[in-house]
Structure 1
Amino acid sequence: MNYHAPHIIVEGAVQYQLGKLQGKQILYDFEKMVVYLDAKGKLMFGKKFKIYREDKEIIYKLCLYFIGDRTRCAQYGIDIDKGLLLSGPIGCGKTSLMKLMKHLVPHQRPYEVIPCRNIVFSFNHIGYKTIEEYGNSQFFCFDDLGVEPIGRHFGKDCNVLGEVLLSRYDLFLSHKLKTHTTTNLNAQELEDRYGNRVRSRMRQLFNLLAFDKGSRDKRS
């Protein structure tokens, strides 16, 4: 990776220029970013991957967020100091996009995408140490929030992701550490699942970006 030219990304023999340097600032070009994301998506997920025209608006907002365009983000009500909660129907491409977007800014500290159900399975196996592990100072994107089972360790039930989110909230306050997540659930369903306390913390932790309810299932 070329730290002197973070706007240029090389994949194999191909060089993608996402914008141009002006002093120490990168002036990004959205259409060039989409070309790169489409190409990188095909490398990561196979030739069937593509960027859909109807998703351009949400992808535009994601790009603004990840490149740190504070002015334009503010116009959309996005706070770049908070994390992202990307919601939408099953199969609309949330997980793929969150796995993909971090490659757009290779000069930034990457986050790890972890399925929520894996966190619960870990809790069932090793207990509360799991909550400590995900409540640490790493960057995470918790994938598929709200459909994971309730945790159970030595006969005690635990709403594992609820506890993890409370820990992440404390880290956000103390270290400005961001957390991202994806979900198929709406705000009311999340509140039913995690309770009012966690839901109010989530409002402070996350910007909500939502796919259209009619977004097609891209898995077929």
Structure 2
Amino acid sequence: MIDESMLKFKKMFLLEANKILKREKRSFEIDAQNEHILNFIYAYFSNSNILENKFNGRLHKGLLIHGSFGVGKSIIFEVLEILYKKYHFKDFAVKNVNTLELMDETIRYLSNPILSQNDETLYKKYSKATVHFEDLGLERKIQHFGNSIELMDEYLLIRYNEFRRNGLKTHITTNLNLEALKKRYSPQLYDRIFEMFNILEMKGTSRRK
């Protein structure tokens, strides 16, 4: 089941996805393992009523997409970045942030002796606008003033507060399933995941060839 708004977004999405993959001499694959989640994505970003009526999704929540390496999680947000540059539609405006790069940026920030006593400034930078955190779980804990900090716990709990206050959306792609996320991060964050996100599993094995 697909409506006109979904169909329009699907055409735009697939066009840009295939342009990206053409550089790798492959095309965007749709099959039984990813068709359902892709239809969810089409409904979500086209604001279709089908999102709630058929997929039991919630537009006010972000997306948490988990699955194995190479199944096609990150390309969704690569395409959105391209679509926003072309069409400037606000629902496509997502800042892509790799968690490994964010960890390095945070370490540099906290190592600055002038700023190290005022840690909230960098956190505020990432508590605004819609953000996609890519590869959640690949980052390691960092040390600051003798304390071990689970970096993404900090960022995501701050964004949760903004979600509650202002409806701020966060998107996540990760190779960790829900059980692994529960073991890795704090109980406070894990409990809030279900309130913040539509949780989607992208099944299958790597499509990289």
Category of TM-score, reference length = shorter chain? 0.7 to 0.9
1:172 aligns with 2:149: no
Select the residue among 123, 136, 144 that pairs with 1:131: 123
Query: How far off is 1:116 after superposition?
Result: 0.8
**In structure 1, distance between residues paired with 2:195 and 2:26:** 33
Instruction: Identify unmatched segments of 5+ residues in structure 1.
Output: 1-18, 20-25
1:158 aligns with 2:149: yes
1:118 aligns with 2:113: no
Please list the CA deviations of residues 42-85 of structure 1 after superposition, one character each: whole Å capped at 9, or x if unmatched: 33343434221212221111010011113443421210011000
More strand by share: 1
Higher relative contact order (CA 8 A, sep 6+): 2
Query: Which segment drifts farther, 165-174 or 38-47?
Result: 38-47
Contact 1:85 1:209 in 2 (8 A): yes
Query: How far off is 1:154 after superposition?
Result: 4.5
Select the residue among 186, 194, 211 that pairs with 2:185: 194
Select the residue among 55, 77, 98 that pairs with 1:76: 55
Contact 1:169 1:201 in 2 (8 A): yes
Identity %: 23
**In structure 1, distance between residues paired with 2:107 and 2:6:** 46
Question: How many residues get paired?
Answer: 192
**In structure 1, distance between residues paired with 2:122 and 2:141:** 14
Aligned to 1:12: none
More helix by share: 2
Normalising by the residue count of structure 1, what TM-score does the alignment of the two structures yield? Answer: 0.78
**In structure 2, distance between residues paired with 1:141 and 1:107:** 17
Query: Which segment drifts farther, 186-195 or 36-45?
Result: 36-45
Aligned to 2:28: 51
Query: Which segment drifts farther, 90-99 or 63-72?
Result: 63-72
Please list the CA deviations of residues 105-151 of structure 1 after superposition, one character each: whole Å capped at 9, or x if unmatched: 7422401111111111111111234323212x221000011121112
1:108 aligns with 2:90: yes
Contact 2:10 2:42 in 1 (8 A): no
Aligned to 1:42: 18
Helix, strand or coil at the partner of 1:157: strand
Query: How far off is 1:209 after superposition?
Result: 1.1
Normalising by the residue count of structure 2, what TM-score does the alignment of the two structures yield? Answer: 0.82
Query: How far off is 1:211 after superposition?
Result: 0.9
Helix, strand or coil at the partner of 1:91: coil
Helix, strand or coil at the partner of 1:28: helix
Aligned to 1:142: 133
What letter matches 1:116 in structure 2?
Answer: T
Cα 1:203–1:34 change in 2 (3 A) is same
Helix, strand or coil at the partner of 1:53: coil
Helix, strand or coil at the partner of 1:73: helix
Query: Which segment drifts farther, 62-71 or 34-43?
Result: 34-43
Query: How far off is 1:38 after superposition?
Result: 2.7
Query: How far off is 1:27 after superposition?
Result: 2.9
Contact 1:162 1:194 in 2 (8 A): yes
Instruction: Identify unmatched segments of 5+ residues in structure 2.
Output: 111-118
Aligned to 1:99: 78
Query: Which segment drifts farther, 201-210 or 44-53?
Result: 44-53
